[in-house]
Amino acid sequence: MSDGFWKILALKGIKGGGDTPTQEKTVALDMANGNQIINPDDGKTMTQATVLKPATMAAENIKSGVDIGGVVGSLEGKLPEEEKTVTITENGTTEVNATDGKAMTKVVVTTNVAIDNKVGQIVDGSITELTAGDLEGATKLRDSIFSQYSSLTKVAIPSSVISIGNEAFYNCRSLTNITIGNGVTSIGESAFYGCSSLTSVTIPNSVKTVGNYMFYECNKLANVVIGNSVTAITNNMFYLCANLTNITIGKSVTSIGGVAFFGCGRLASITIPDSVTSISSGAFNSCTSLKSITIPSNVTSIGGAALRIGGGANEVIITMLSTTPPTIASNTFTAEYLNKIIVPKGTSETYKAATNWSAFADYIEEAEE
C-alpha cells in the first residue's frame, strides 16, 4: 500500500507528576475500516497525540473510527487517566493534548463520515446521483471533491453544508440538476466550471460570497436566480454561458465583475439592481442579443468594453439614470452599434462634456418628461 493511503499518528508521552517514563511512537495505520489500538509500552504514559491527515481524502484514506489506546503501567505515582475525542473534518494537522497532570489512555479519532464515505463510493466515477441524505451531516464540500465525475447527473446539497469548495464540481459535464441547500454561505472559485449540461440553478439567500469563474462555459445554462445576500457578480462568473436567457440578480449585489457575462449570446434582457455601484471591464461584452440596458443611478464607474452589446448597426439603446455621468473608458460602448444613450432630463450637456463621454456625444439625448 502506498504512502498516500496511510495516516501517520505520532504519539508522544510527556512526563507529568511522579516519575512516569515517557516515550514517542510513530505508527502507520492502514486504511481499512475499523479500529486499531496502539498501546504505549508497559509502564509509560501518553500525554499527546498528533494526527496528520492526508493531502487528499480518497476512498483509501477514509477511516470511520480509530482508537488510540494508551494503557498506563502500574508504577507508583502514575498520572490520573482521561479519554479524549477528536473529529477530523478537513485536511491538515490536529493535535490533542492531555489536561495538565493527566495521561490520556484513549484518543478516539473520527472522520466526517457522512461525506467521506460517499467519496469512497464514487472514486470509480460510477455514481449518477447524490441526494441530500447521502451528504447529510457534512459541513464542507472540500476543493475538487467531485471534480470531473463524468457520470454525476443530479446533486442535492443539504442544509448542513455551509461551504462549497473551489472546483468542487469542476467539469462534471453530465450534471443537469443542482440544488443548493439554504445553509450554504459561500461557494468557491470555479465550483461549477465546465458543467456543460447544467440548465438552471438557484443560489439561495443564505449565500453571501461566490468565487470567480463559477459557471464558466456552462453553455446550456439558461435560467439563474441569484439570492439577496450575494454581494458581487464575480469575474468570469457566466463567461460563455451561451444559452443564458433569464437571470435574476439579488438586491445586495454592488459590483459586476470583469467579463462576467462575456459571450452570453442569447441574453436579451437583464435588470441591474439599484444596489450596483460598479460594472467592470468587458462585463457584457459580446452579449449580441442584448439590445437595450438600463444603468442604475448608483453606478459610478463602467469599465472598458463593458457595454459593447448588440451585434448590428444602430440598434443599441443605453438608458442612464444617474444625473452625474459615471466614469467610463474610451471603448465602453461600440459606437457603430449605438442607437442612442438616454440620460436624465437636463443632464445632456453634462454628459457630453464628461471625460470619454464626448466621443459618444452624437448619441446622447435626454429622457422625455
Q: Provide the CATH number for the domain around residue 133.
A: 3.80.10.10
83 and 141 together in one domain: no
Per the structure, the complete domain to which residue 191 belongs is given by 113-232
258 and 276 together in one domain: yes
104 and 124 together in one domain: no
Q: Is residue 238 part of a domain?
A: no
Which of 56, 47, 23, 147 minimizes the C-alpha distance to 102?
47
Q: Is residue 131 part of a domain?
A: yes
| Residue where one domain finishes, among candidates 232, 263, 284 | 232
Q: Domain count of the chain? A: 3
pLDDT tens digits, the chain, 369 residues: what are they?
333 323 333 333 333 334 555 555 444 433 333 344 445 566 665 555 444 443 333 333 323 333 333 333 323 345 566 666 666 554 445 566 667 766 665 665 554 433 344 443 334 456 788 888 878 878 888 888 888 888 899 999 999 999 999 999 999 999 999 999 999 999 999 999 999 999 999 999 999 999 999 999 999 999 999 999 999 999 999 999 999 999 999 999 999 999 999 999 999 999 999 999 999 999 999 999 999 999 999 999 999 999 999 999 999 999 999 999 999 999 999 999 999 999 999 999 999 999 999 999 999 999 997
88 and 125 together in one domain: no
Task: List Cα–Cα distances, 306 to 60, 153, 179, 289, 309, in angstroms.
Answer: 48, 34, 31, 15, 8
Task: List Cα–Cα distances, 35 to 64, 182, 289, in angstroms.
Answer: 8, 36, 61
Interacting residues of 81 by C-beta distance below 8 A, sequence separation 6+: 72, 102, 103, 104, 105
Which of 145, 133, 158 minimizes the C-alpha distance to 188?
145
262 and 364 together in one domain: yes
Q: Is residue 242 part of a domain?
A: no
287 and 186 together in one domain: no
Q: Is residue 63 part of a domain?
A: yes
Q: Is residue 237 part of a domain?
A: no
132 and 104 together in one domain: no
Which of 282, 272, 166 minimizes the C-alpha distance to 213?
166
| Residue where one domain finishes, among candidates 67, 91, 111 | 111
CB 65 within 8 A of CB 37: no
Q: Is residue 243 part of a domain?
A: no
CB 119 within 8 A of CB 165: no
Backbone angles phi, psi at 225, to 5 degrees: -120, 125
Q: pTM score, two decimals?
A: 0.70
Q: Is residue 167 part of a domain?
A: yes
